[in-house]
């Protein structure tokens, strides 16, 4: 038992949990991390409130989720510098559940969602994120940048005019005339400040400078523009322990399980892709399984404290990284600042103009969108360009999980098709066996190339002994086994023999396990001594 636990702990990619593992503690580093955390916290407020409206729950449900998920993932997550909280990708799934069954079922679903994510982390399923091709990553980044941009459009509506449509908050009157001009002007001013600040000083993060200067301008001159307080009051107390008030029945489980599975999948996919993106920016790798566990624990706890759950937030993570946040301190500080806003600072935070926060998010969109993907579309293979566009469109039209799955499937099918076209054979007379014909197979033999493999042979005109040389090929799957057996059966029916040569160790093991090889001795499938294997037919049934 002890050895099993030791091996499990050894294989689990546990990331250093120290608050400042690489950068080291210094007053300058602490200042950067705290200011970056403050910037992120300010940007979290309208996002959490807006996503709570989307899900059809009270704003504090979104704010508590942002605090708890953000704090726990910052403490034990797989990537220091990454920010998590309530997200729109999850909110759009939650809205139907809340509308049909109520918020208590949402809390129960979030708990189950967290448990599923913990299970995925323990099983180390996070490593499968490596299978996501680069074109899918580009499509993910571009699609999410567009989603972030579109999410800001609701801030250009007259506060208080949005209504509950039964599927979340929607509708509302657009700003027009002078209010719209002023809003656009302040957004542009915020973006200009963020752009110019790093060229003047790096003492304060550029997004924080943009928010602070525009907020001071609006408050000082008493400008009549939409503010955070116009969305909703963020004043509240500490989150309280709350067991979801749902019947503990099989019927309840059947209601929440489908939502929990979808939410867990979307949350992990977005978190792991964001983890890779932040890793590219910070030059760090690993931590996928640990991030799954951290996300799961965070959501489980959040469900018991009246939060709507969450996952990694690419926008806030980009703000943090671009502001200099590299350690766990920034994420912890963001969560603590957010809680202080709720407890004691609501009256001040509610005065911040939404235009300043929209300007910050617009700069995030500009920094997140992979602009180089537009120039490489003509340079990369046509299928890769198609996948980039496809994932981008599906991310915007549907959701992230569907987009990534579609992108991976299309990429896999394209890869399979390209490999299927590679299989071919060259023929020659055998040197060792007089009169025998050798087929030298090139390219992998798998489900996609099985039909092409069958077309390589001329059973009717071949001699009595045919040798298939796999030195430049691999036998991959059951379809390959079936193809070999079917071909051997054709030669057998014609009174001829089909033999296999130069099987690699993995191919030898696969064929031997299936019972296809007639092995007379404990031979070694290495190439020092070429061994020819007869093929046993009728193993899989059917020719």
- Say how far apart CA 106 and CA 98 lie, in whole Å: 6
Q: Which residues pair with 442 in a beta bridge?
A: 424, 472
Q: Are 180 and 11 in contact (CB under 8 A)?
A: no
Residue with tokens 């987009």: 403
What is the secondary structure of 18-57 as a DSSP string? Answer: SSSTTT---HHHHHHHHHHHHHHHHHHHHHHHHHHHHHTS
Percent above pLDDT 70 for the chain: 87
pLDDT recorded at residue 523: 45
Is residue 337 pLDDT above 80, yes or no?
yes
DSSP 130: G
pLDDT recorded at residue 249: 93
At residue 23 the predicted structure's pLDDT band, cuts being 50, 70 and 90, is low
pLDDT in tens, 338-396: 999 999 988 888 999 999 989 988 988 898 888 888 888 888 888 999 999 999 999 88
Higher pLDDT, 1 or 15: 15
Cβ count near 267 (within 10 Å): 32
Cα–Cα–Cα angle for 270, 350, 66, rounded to 5 degrees:
25
pLDDT recorded at residue 530: 52
Residue with tokens 């980044």: 141
- Say how far apart CA 524 and CA 509 lie, in whole Å: 11
- Say how far apart CA 215 and CA 43 lie, in whole Å: 13
pLDDT recorded at residue 4: 47
Cα–Cα–Cα angle for 247, 244, 246, rounded to 5 degrees:
15
Is residue 5 pLDDT above 50, yes or no?
no
Exposed, middle or buried: residue 45 (CB in 10 Å: 0-12, 13-18, 19+)? buried
pLDDT recorded at residue 3: 52
Is residue 543 pLDDT above 50, yes or no?
no
pLDDT recorded at residue 439: 92
- Say how far apart CA 211 and CA 361 lie, in whole Å: 11
Higher pLDDT, 14 or 359: 359
pLDDT recorded at residue 521: 42
pLDDT in tens, 490-538: 988 999 888 888 777 777 776 777 665 554 444 445 544 455 666 767 6
**Total number of residues shown for the chain:** 543
Please write down the long-range contacts of 396-402, taking CB distance under 8 Å and 24 or more positions apart: 396/143, 396/146, 396/147, 396/150, 399/89, 399/92, 399/93, 399/266, 400/89, 400/140, 400/143, 400/144, 400/266, 400/269, 400/270, 400/273, 401/89, 401/262, 401/265, 401/266, 401/269, 401/270
- Say how far apart CA 3 and CA 10 lie, in whole Å: 10
What is the reported pTM? 0.76
- Say how far apart CA 124 and CA 113 lie, in whole Å: 17
- Say how far apart CA 295 and CA 396 lie, in whole Å: 24
């Amino acid at each position: 038992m002890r050895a099993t636990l030791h091996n499990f702990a050894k294989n689990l990619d546990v990331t250093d949990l120290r608050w400042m593992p690489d950068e080291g503690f210094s007053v300058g580093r602490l200042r950067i991390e705290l200011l970056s955390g403050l910037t992120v916290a300010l940007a979290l407020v309208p996002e959490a409130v807006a996503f709570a409206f989307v899900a059809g729950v009270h704003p504090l449900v979104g704010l508590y989720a942002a605090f708890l998920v953000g704090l726990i993932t910052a403490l034990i997550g797989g990537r220091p510098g990454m920010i998590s909280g309530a997200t729109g990708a999850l909110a759009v799934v939650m809205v139907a559940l809340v509308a049909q069954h109520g918020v208590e079922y949402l809390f129960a679903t979030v708990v189950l969602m967290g448990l599923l994510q913990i299970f995925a982390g323990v099983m180390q399923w996070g490593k499968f994120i490596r299978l996501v091709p680069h074109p899918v990553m580009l499509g993910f980044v571009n699609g999410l940048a567009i989603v972030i941009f579109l999410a800001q459009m609701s801030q250009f509506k007259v506060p208080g005019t949005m209504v509950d449509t039964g599927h979340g908050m929607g509708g509302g009157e657009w700003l027009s005339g002078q209010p719209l001009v002023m809003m656009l002007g302040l957004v542009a001013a915020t973006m200009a400040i963020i752009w110019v600040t790093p060229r003047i000083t790096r003492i304060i993060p550029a997004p924080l400078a943009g928010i602070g200067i525009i907020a001071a301008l609006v408050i000082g001159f008493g400008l009549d523009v939409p503010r955070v307080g116009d969305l909703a009051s963020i004043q509240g107390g500490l989150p309280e322990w709350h067991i979801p008030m749902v019947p503990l029945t099989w019927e309840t489980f059947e209601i929440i399980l489908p939502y929990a599975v979808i939410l867990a999948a979307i949350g992990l996919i977005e978190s792991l892709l964001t983890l890779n993106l932040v890793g590219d920016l910070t030059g760090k790798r690993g931590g996928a399984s640990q991030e799954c566990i951290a996300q799961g624990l965070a959501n489980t706890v959040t469900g018991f404290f009246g939060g709507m759950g969450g996952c990694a937030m690419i926008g806030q993570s980009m703000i943090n990284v671009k502001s200099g946040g590299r350690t766990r301190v920034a994420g912890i500080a963001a969560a603590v600042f957010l809680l202080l806003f709720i407890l004691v600072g609501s009256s001040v935070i509610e005065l911040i103009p939404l235009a300043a926060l929209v300007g910050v998010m617009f700069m995030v969109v500009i920094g997140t969108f992979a602009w180089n993907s537009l120039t490489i579309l003509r340079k990369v293979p046509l299928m890769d360009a198609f996948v980039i566009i496809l994932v981008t469109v599906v991310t915007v039209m549907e959701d992230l999980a569907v987009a990534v799955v579609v992108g991976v499937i299309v990429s896999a099918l394209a890869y399979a098709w390209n490999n299927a076209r590679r299989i071919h054979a060259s023929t020659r007379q055998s040197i060792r066996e007089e009169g025998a014909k050798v087929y030298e197979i090139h390219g992998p033999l798998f489900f996609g190339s099985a039909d092409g493999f069958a077309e390589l042979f001329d059973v009717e005109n071949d001699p009595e002994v045919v040798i298939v040389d796999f030195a430049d090929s691999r036998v991959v799957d059951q379809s390959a086994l079936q193809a070999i057996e079917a071909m051997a059966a054709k030669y057998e029916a014609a009174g001829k023999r089909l033999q296999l040569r130069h099987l690699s160790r993995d191919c030898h093991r696969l064929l031997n396990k299936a019972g296809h090889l007639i092995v007379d001795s404990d031979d070694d499938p290495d190439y020092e001594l070429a061994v020819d294997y007869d093929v046993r037919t009728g193993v899989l049934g059917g020719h």
